[in-house]
């Protein structure tokens, strides 16, 4: 597919561009063939007999050529596969772990028949509405902790969502990305031969696409931005952020991710209840560190600081300030 041609059309921001200009010396017929191919794929173009062609909108389905074109990443996105329907993108990525040549493989699907969320929940999204994406990585030992990989996914998603919406995207422990308390994305890390970071990001869901019980707790880019988004461009942005942070991890070590993860936390400075295998603790969350873990100024210990390793935290639940555990139960993924 002629993606530079697509870019020339898109850059004209809705204005008509003549075929001669679009072709840049190419024969009329060959430009027309390329335009036909773009239209057949689903890009919305408007043709006018004298004025030329205008870009009217992205293809409704994910476009592999558009995603891959001059992506320029080092690891993530070296290979990309787009499927119409799969059981779970995480399964396909895990199956590819037999070969280390698949480091950075990105699996995308328009539909999952048994998408998984955390804690055995389902992850359901109407066909073609979301980003359903899994990335296969072979991290170094120091980057292989599930907590670090989850933070990698969450930071990358939060940055992209913030950049696209202009809103403050926050990470709700441990794997949700939320805007103003509403979940827009979830991360599911599964480790086996390699590590798979699964990401479900609510892109073009309308309010009606969510089950009623999630109307108050979930949102999408479309709801926040008031228009449907180009999911292929969204994938590109996300792959680039994942790659940038993963690369920093390789060159600078796992701590490189810490400031961004900490700054995006929804809970820092807030009262929380931390459940661990040895019991529950309530206090103000005074620090978050991917290596040192959580530091809680415990309420029933006169605010004395206590540290919990990330691996020991079963749940972290926001409380009503000073009033013990509050009504902010963990959000169930759509």
| One residue of 137, 184, 188, 310 binding ligand BTN per CB under 6 A | 188
CB 69 within 8 A of CB 38: no
CA dist list (Å): 231 to 67, 228, 287: 9, 9, 35
Q: Cα 67 to chain center, whole Å?
A: 15
Question: Which CB sits closer to ligand BTN, 73 or 90?
Answer: 90
115 counts as binding ligand BTN under rule CB under 6 A: yes
Count of residues engaged in binding ligand BTN, rule: CB under 6 A:
22
Question: Which CB sits closer to ligand BTN, 153 or 254?
Answer: 153
- Sequence-ordered list of residues with C-beta below 8 angstroms from that of 314, at least 6 positions apart, any chain: 275, 276, 277
Bond into 174 cis (ω within 30): yes
CA–CA distance, 285 with 27 (Å, rounded to integer)? 65
Question: Which CB sits closer to ligand BTN, 238 or 319?
Answer: 238
Question: Which CB sits closer to ligand BTN, 120 or 322?
Answer: 120
The secondary element (H helix, E strand) that includes residue 28 is helix 28-41
Q: Cα 331 to chain center, whole Å?
A: 17
Q: State the nearest-atom distance from the C-beta of 175 to ligand BTN, in Å.
A: 6
| Max CA pair span of the chain | 79
| One residue of 2, 66, 88, 202 binding ligand BTN per CB under 6 A | 88
CA–CA distance, 316 with 265 (Å, rounded to integer)? 12
| One residue of 73, 134, 220, 232 binding ligand BTN per CB under 6 A | 134
249 counts as binding ligand BTN under rule CB under 6 A: no
117 counts as binding ligand BTN under rule CB under 6 A: yes
CA–CA distance, 97 with 4 (Å, rounded to integer)? 33
Q: State the nearest-atom distance from the C-beta of 122 to ligand BTN, in Å.
A: 9
Binding mask 138-177 for ligand BTN (x = CB under 6 A): -------------------------------------xx-
Question: Which CB sits closer to ligand BTN, 2 or 134?
Answer: 134
Question: Which CB sits closer to ligand BTN, 202 or 258?
Answer: 202
- DSSP class of 121: -
CA–CA distance, 313 with 133 (Å, rounded to integer)? 26
CA–CA distance, 76 with 50 (Å, rounded to integer)? 43
Q: State the nearest-atom distance from the C-beta of 155 to ligand BTN, in Å.
A: 15
- Sequence-ordered list of residues with C-beta below 8 angstroms from that of 325, at least 6 positions apart, any chain: 273, 282, 317, 319
Q: State the nearest-atom distance from the C-beta of 272 to ligand BTN, in Å.
A: 19
123 counts as binding ligand BTN under rule CB under 6 A: yes
- DSSP class of 330: P
112 counts as binding ligand BTN under rule CB under 6 A: yes
121 counts as binding ligand BTN under rule CB under 6 A: yes
CB 57 within 8 A of CB 14: no
Q: State the nearest-atom distance from the C-beta of 312 to ligand BTN, in Å.
A: 20
Q: Quick one: which segment of 21-29, 113-121, 220-228, 263-271 binds ligand BTN (CB under 6 A)?
A: 113-121
Binding residues (CB under 6 A) for ligand BTN: these are: 88-90, 112, 115-118, 121, 123, 132-134, 175-176, 186-188, 198-200, 333
């Amino acid at each position: 597919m002629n993606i530079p041609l697509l870019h020339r059309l898109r850059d004209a921001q809705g204005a008509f561009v003549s075929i001669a200009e679009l072709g840049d010396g190419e024969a009329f017929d060959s430009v027309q063939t390329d335009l036909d191919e773009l239209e057949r794929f689903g890009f919305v173009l408007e043709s006018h007999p004298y004025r030329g062609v205008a870009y009217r909108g992205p293809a409704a389905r994910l476009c592999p050529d558009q995603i891959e074109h001059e992506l320029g990443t080092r690891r993530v996105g070296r290979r990309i596969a787009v499927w119409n329907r799969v059981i779970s993108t995480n399964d396909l990525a895990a199956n590819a772990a037999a070969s280390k040549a698949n480091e950075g493989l990105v699996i995308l699907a328009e539909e999952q028949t048994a998408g998984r969320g955390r804690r055995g929940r389902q992850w359901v999204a109407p066909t073609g509405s979301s980003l359903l994406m899994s990335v296969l990585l072979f991290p170094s030992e120091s980057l292989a902790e599930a907590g670090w990989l989850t933070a990698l996914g969450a930071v990358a998603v939060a940055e992209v969502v913030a950049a696209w919406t202009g809103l403050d995207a926050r990470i709700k422990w441990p794997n949700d990305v939320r805007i103003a308390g509403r979940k827009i994305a979830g991360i599911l890390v599964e480790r086996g031969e390699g590590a798979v970071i699964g990401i479900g990001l609510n892109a073009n869901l309308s309010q009606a696409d969510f089950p009623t019980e999630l109307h108050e707790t979930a949102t999408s880019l479309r709801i926040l931005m008031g228009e449907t988004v180009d999911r292929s461009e969204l994938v590109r942005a996300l792959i680039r952020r994942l790659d940038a942070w993963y690369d920093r991890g390789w060159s600078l070590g796992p701590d490189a991710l810490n400031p961004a993860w900490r700054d995006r936390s929804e809970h820092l400075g807030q009262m929380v209840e931390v459940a661990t295998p040895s019991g529950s603790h309530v206090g103000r969350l005074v620090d978050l560190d991917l290596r040192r873990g959580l530091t809680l100024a415990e309420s029933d210990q006169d605010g004395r600081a206590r540290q919990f390793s990330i691996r020991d935290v079963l749940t972290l639940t926001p409380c009503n300030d000073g009033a013990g555990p509050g009504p902010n139960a963990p959000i169930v993924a759509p």
